[in-house]
Structure 1
Amino acid sequence: MDTRRASEIDFRPLTDREFHPSPVAWEDEVLYFLMLDRFSDGFETGYLDNNGAPVTTGTTPALRREDRGNAVATEEDAARWREAGAAWCGGTLNGLRTKLGYLGRLGVTAVWISPILKQTPFEETYHGYATQNFLAVDPHFGTKEELRDLVTEAHGMGIRVILDIVLNHTGDVFAYRDDVTDATWFGHPYPVEGFRDASGKPTLPFGPVDDPDGAVWPAELQEPGVFTCGGRIVDWDRYPEYLDGDFFGLKDVHLGSGETDRYTPSPALEALARCYRYWIAYADLDGLRVDTVKHMDRGAARYFASVIHEFAQSIGKENFYLIAEITGDRRFAFETLEKVGMDAALGLAEIQDELEWLVKGQRDPRGYFDLFRDSFALGKDSHTWLRNRVVTGYDDHDQVRKGPAKARFAADDLGQRMALAAIAFNVTTLGIPCLYYGSEQRLDGSGGNDRYLRETMFGGAFGAFRSTGGHVFDESGTVYHEVARILAVRRATPALRRGRQYLRQISGDGVSFGYPGLRSVVPWSRIFADREVLLAINTDPLLSHTVWVTIDAGLHAAGSALVCRYSTDQAQEGREVTVEPRNGRAVLITVPAAGFVIYS
């Protein structure tokens, strides 16, 4: 498979079987995004296996609190730890397979895995976005058989698998000619020295070759005209530079030409679409996260979406999901989403930013909720359109929105205190929620490079909390335990997955009501089929707050009651609050410091 042409793939033996069905509604799912190289190597001990039994056969123990920071005791140690973060660390498909129980017990229903296809062998492209062979799994991660086994076991445990993929570019598979001193985009192609061999040197002809570890595969990608050869992007928003330029050293692929409705796909795009159809059929995947959709022609993205959706439906996956990474403002994102025919947008800086700073008590809550209110301005007649059209979250693997000041949510004391509230808010507000790996353990990476957002969960030389030698798969931690309880309520409550959403007014005296401000109780309702669920976080990390909260007057009679279904103060659970005729209808609730409550 490593060196064949994509056009030679025989799908008949791959599709002659039953496939795992798609979910009825993706807003019911809870996604978990992980960098495979940084998640698990399978050598941990002292955690619970997929059946919930203690594992005692591994070699890496659980990280003790007193061992945090053990990798940076001296500047020499710190330099080694930082250097380790720029290289392959050792996470594998089999390692992930051993942690499916950890994810399932947390409440995750779909795992989104960073790209796993074969990378350029001469670089430390552990992130997976520098593909050299689109028909092979990178040996650092394992084998294609291990991918298939992982998906099969995940399906058996009620967890779907979404694979991160790249269409826009390949790895640094060729070099520009020596006399090109600074290959930045300027609107014309640069001359090429040749394809790179396994050592990275441009010794191979810029055309058909037979070296499986050199150039690029499948063979269709070696044909003339596959690459734009335009040099690297400098202005990431200037047209057509952001479409035709290279991502730093990654090489931009010419995907086709023409208007969106009359687009002619290039042979390279046809080959790539065939490669990903192969992986869907071979591994029984449930969805794809498509990288850098903003940097692709809309016609190319639309062609790919059509081909993949039709193929998935032909094998019984009626709701196979394509999640498009579209950076920029939401109107641009949703306009692009609609025109290309993909299913949900991801990477919206507005959503990530407003969510983080709302929970930390430093942003007006209306800023976040208003992102989901004006669907009419987006050309939709109900804000519930957004329930399955946007993937929501706040941490990720590159944090483009923060520029050079990259930091996980829990990187400071305030973030540590508010970590549970952030996850609770994310998984119970509108959209398809996505947790970034390690958030449930309050990982706290920060620094001027993406690597610091990509700590290893399994220990090794670049362990979490600036450590080495200890894993953090701890199911006894407060955040992990409470998130599991919250997600159990979410599973049992349709309104928390599909309901309309309203920010609610509050009052301290029961007379004067207004929308919440900073460091206060932030309540909202989800309403589905005449059933209202009231939720609230407290953005004050130190003090509990008791407030009157407005609820729907048409759904609740004065004198009726709401019951606390969940609270970070478990003593509140089961207690009733009486509906009173204040500001229409209101109830008096108490939310613990940095806490979260659910009433219905």
Structure 2
Amino acid sequence: MKKRLLALFILPFLLFCSFPITALGADEKEDSWEDEMVYFIMIDRFFNGNYDNDYEVDTDDPKAYHGGDLEGIIQKLDYIKELGYTAIWVTPIMKNEPKGYHGYWIEDFMEVEEHFGTMEDAKRLVKEAHDRDIKVLFDFVVNHTGYQHPWLEEPDKANWFHEEKRMIGDSPSVLENAWLAGLPDLNTENPEVKNYLFDAAEFWIEETGVDGFRLDTVKHVPKEFWQEFSAHVKSIDEDFFLIGEVWSNNPKYIAEYEETGIDSFVDYPLYEAMSQAFMEAGGDLQSVYNVWEANQVFYEQPYLLGTFLDNHDNLRFTREALKKRQEPTTRWKLALTYQFTAPGIPITYYGTEVPLDGAEDPDNRRMMNFNAGDGEVKKHIEQMTAIRNKFPVLVKGDFEELYNEDGMAVFSRSYEEEQIIVAINNSEATKSSVINLDAKEMQLTGLLQDEIVRDKDNGTYEITLDREEAEVFVVEQDKGLNWAFILLIVGTMGVFIAAVIWLSRKSKQTE
């Protein structure tokens, strides 16, 4: 008897909870990189899929190999797909000198590092990713080799390197010729070096079918080289994507490299602004929008910029929040909401979904822990990738600031007939903002928390958010009260009450 009553009690709640918060199907997309969302992986620190290549592995040494490999990434492609990402970027897979776990101390530009696997594994990674509609970016280095590269001992390659000197200053001559962190600086002006690097790029494209390169240390290589390099790879594959790292807080300086044919750049100015704004409650959000205004001025393709909140060269965003005595999950959710709704290609460093902690290099490259965390950030990422995938306006739409005051900001994205309103309360108190839209007698329907805001007066909408909360609204026709849903609830409860009464009477008769 008790079991039957319990089942009837639970039934209405199962029915109520079975309605999805919002339907976020996947529309067909154009094959454009601005549509993509990138998951960035440091190979050695992600997942160990093949223990047979685990020699010289020491997980207690943060500067040693930890066992992650290409097979590990292959095994986790479904996991990445479920998170909602449509592309992956992996650190260099080329053969490195000892302890080059990160991939940037290259010893052979046309061989796979044996700790990571084989050439067959590299080919299989690309194929398996493509089978899941996931694009692949390989990190590609042309500025330098490892510290002990064999070429340094070959007399006929003496002019393959610039003269050894420390990097002091930031003039083009210093940036392009000095040895970064003491790494032997390749003389890319030398035709032999240039052709070798061109051949290496062609090798990886033709052997693996990779979709693009993330170009390391772009500002340390002359623009003339990049112009020829870009033209060369595009001659092999006209759709091949190049995203460059120009480490600078000056968007005008970074944008000057667009003339080289590099398609996109990681947006360091936005990284700095987002980090400062979101690492603690009360951060001013004006600076993040200011970066967008500058990007529109300086870049030909600002929508192709790669946006990120942390990476393998900087403190983890989690650590930045902890230093400010903030709750990282809350900080991450607000920051990710902005990142995934603002223009640009979102790039997420592995472990964000946990979220991983980490201080200076190499602590910011900890081994991925798939079982850490309470799943809240992971769930939020899944929501944001689904929303961005569902609404083209978040990829192609214009971006306008509607309100920005005392830690609360409201932004609008508009494209064709579609409009999204993004509201973020980054303060420590409940905040309200009144905005005016051309859309009259409509409603703002929340995609994260099911909030509904209706037209108060001829296109005036008042949005209220609790402290440290964000919402993404779609502007749509005012649907009024959902009478069908209300009647379903009333009817279900009626059936439930009637059943309880009937069972109660039945029980008394039996007694």
Q: Same fold (TM over 0.5)?
A: yes
Paired residue for 2:375?
477
User: Are the counterparts in 2 of residues 563 and 599 from structure 1 also a CA contact under 8 Å?
Assistant: yes
Is 1:450–2:361 an aligned residue pair?
yes
Match of 1:115 among 88, 92, 101: 92
Q: 1:377 to 1:498 in 2, by over 3 A?
A: closer
Amino acid at match of 1:453: N
CA contact (8 A) 2:312 2:364 kept: yes
Contact kept in structure 2, 1:429 and 1:496, CA below 8 Å: yes
CA distance in 2, matches of 1:103, 1:376: 31
Distance 1:432 1:369 in 2: 16
Residue 239 of structure 1 deviates from its aligned partner by 3.3
Question: Deviation of residue 113 (structure 1)?
Answer: 0.1
- Correspondence for 2:165 among 200, 211, 231: 231
Q: Secondary structure at the match of 1:289?
A: strand
Which whole-Å CA distance do the structure 2 matches of 1:379 and 1:281 have between them?
Answer: 31
Cα distance in 1, alignment partners of residues 222 and 154 from structure 2: 25
Of 100, 103, 114, the match for 1:139: 114
Select 2:308's aligned residue among 393, 408, 419.
Answer: 393
The question of 1:241 aligning with 2:216 is answered no
Q: TM-score, with normalisation over the residues of structure 2?
A: 0.80
Pick closer, same or farther for the CA change 1:42–1:525 going to 2, 3 Å: same
1:335 aligned to 244, 256, 272, which one? 256
Structure 1 counterpart of 2:145:
170
Q: Map of 1:278-293 to 2, 5 A cutoff?
A: 278-293=203-218
Q: CA deviation digits over 1:73-95, x for unaligned, max 9?
A: xxxxxxx97x6111111110001
Per the TM alignment, residue 145 of structure 1 is displaced from its structure 2 partner at its CA by 0.4
Q: CA deviation at 1:588?
A: 2.2
Partner of residue 27 from structure 1, selected from 8, 30, 34: 34
User: What residue is the counterpart of 1:91 in the other structure?
Assistant: 68
Equivalent AA in structure 2 for residue 98 of structure 1: Q
The 1:577–1:597 alpha-carbon spacing in structure 2 relative to 1, beyond 3 Å, is same
Distance 1:153 1:376 in 2: 37
State the distance in 2 between where 1:522 and 1:598 align. Answer: 12
Aligned to 1:579: 455
Give the CA RMSD over aligned residues: 2.5
Q: Which has the larger radius of gyration?
A: 2
CA 1:40–1:527 in structure 2 vs 1: closer, same or farther (change >3 Å)? same
- TM-score after normalising by structure 1: 0.68
Gaps in structure 2 of 5+ consecutive residues: 1-28, 52-57, 475-511
Q: Is the 8 A contact 1:524 1:535 kept in 2?
A: yes
Tell me, in whole angstroms, the C-alpha distance in 2 between the residues paired with 1:497 and 1:408.
30
CA contact (8 A) 1:302 1:341 kept: yes
SS in 2 for 1:164: strand
Is the 8 Å Cα contact of residues 523 and 549 (structure 1) preserved in structure 2? no
> How far off is 1:475 after superposition?
9.3
- In structure 2, how many angstroms separate the alpha carbons of the residues matched to 1:102 and 1:379? 34
Corresponding position of 2:129: 154
Correspondence 1:6-45 to 2 at 5 A: 24-42=31-49
Q: Which secondary structure does the structure 1 equivalent of 2:210 belong to?
A: coil
Alpha-carbon shift at residue 238 of structure 1 (Å): 2.7
Residue pair 2:251, 2:295 contacting (<8 A) in 1 also:
no
Query: How far, CA to CA, are the matches of 2:317 and 2:147 in structure 1?
Result: 25
2:298 to 368, 372, 378: 378
Question: Percent identity of the aligned residues?
Answer: 27
Aligned amino acid, residue 562 of structure 1: L
Deviations, residues 408-460 of structure 1 (Å, cap 9, x unaligned): 445444234311221221111111111111111111112xx311110101xxx
- Aligned residue for 1:108, secondary structure, equals coil
- Greater percentage in helix: 2
Across the two proteins, how many residue pairs are aligned to each other?
Answer: 436
For residues 502-550 of structure 1, the C-alpha deviation after alignment (integer angstroms, 9 at most, x for no partner) is 1222xxxxxxxxx2223xx32211111142100122213x65x351341
Secondary structure (helix, strand or coil) at the match of 1:168 reads coil
Q: Structure 1 residue 562 and structure 2 residue 418: aligned?
A: no
Offset, 1:560: 2.3
The aligned runs of 1:472-551 (5 Å cut-off) are 472-473=370-371, 477-505=375-403, 515-518=404-407, 521-540=408-427, 543=429, 545-551=430-436
1:86-132: per-residue Cα shift (whole Å, max 9, x none)? 11111100011111111111111111000110012xx3111111111
- The alignment status of 1:266 with 2:205, answered yes or no, reads no
Partner of 1:355: 274
Q: 1:487, 1:108 → 2: CA distance? A: 7
Cα distance, 1:407 vs. partner? 6.9
For structure 1, the residue ranges without an aligned partner over 5 or more in a row are 1-21, 45-79, 175-193, 197-204, 209-222, 257-264, 458-470, 506-514, 568-572
Q: Which residue of 2 aligns with 1:259?
A: none
Residues 36, 93 of structure 1: 8 Å contact kept: yes
Residue of structure 2 equivalent to 1:344:
264
SS at match of 2:472: strand
Quote the Cα distance in structure 2 between the aligned partners of 1:37 and 1:299. 33
Counterpart among 366, 373, 386 of residue 286 in structure 2: 366
Secondary structure at the residue paired with 1:504? strand
Alpha-carbon distance in 1 for matches of 2:318, 2:389: 31
Q: What is the letter of the counterpart of residue 450 of structure 1?
A: D
* Equivalent residue letter for 1:206: E
Task: Tell whether 2:220 aligns with 1:295.
Answer: yes
d(CA) in 2 for partners of 1:95, 1:411: 30
Q: Tell me the distance in 2 between the aligned counterparts of 1:535 and 1:342.
A: 31
Query: What is the one-letter code of the residue matched to 2:289?
Result: F
Per-residue Cα deviation, 1:314-371 (whole angstroms, up to 9, x for no partner): xxxx3x21001011111000012x22110111152x2111112222345432211111
Residues 126 and 549 from structure 1, CA distance in 2 versus in 1: closer, same or farther, beyond 3 angstroms? farther
Inter-partner Cα distance in structure 1 for 2:103 and 2:141:
9
SS of residue matched to 1:96: helix
Give the counterpart letter for 2:367 in structure 1. Answer: T
Cα deviation per residue 1:130-151 (whole Å; 9 max; x = unaligned)? 1110110000111010011111
Letter in structure 2 aligned against 1:561 = Q
Measured in 2, the distance between the counterparts of 1:43 and 1:306 equals 37
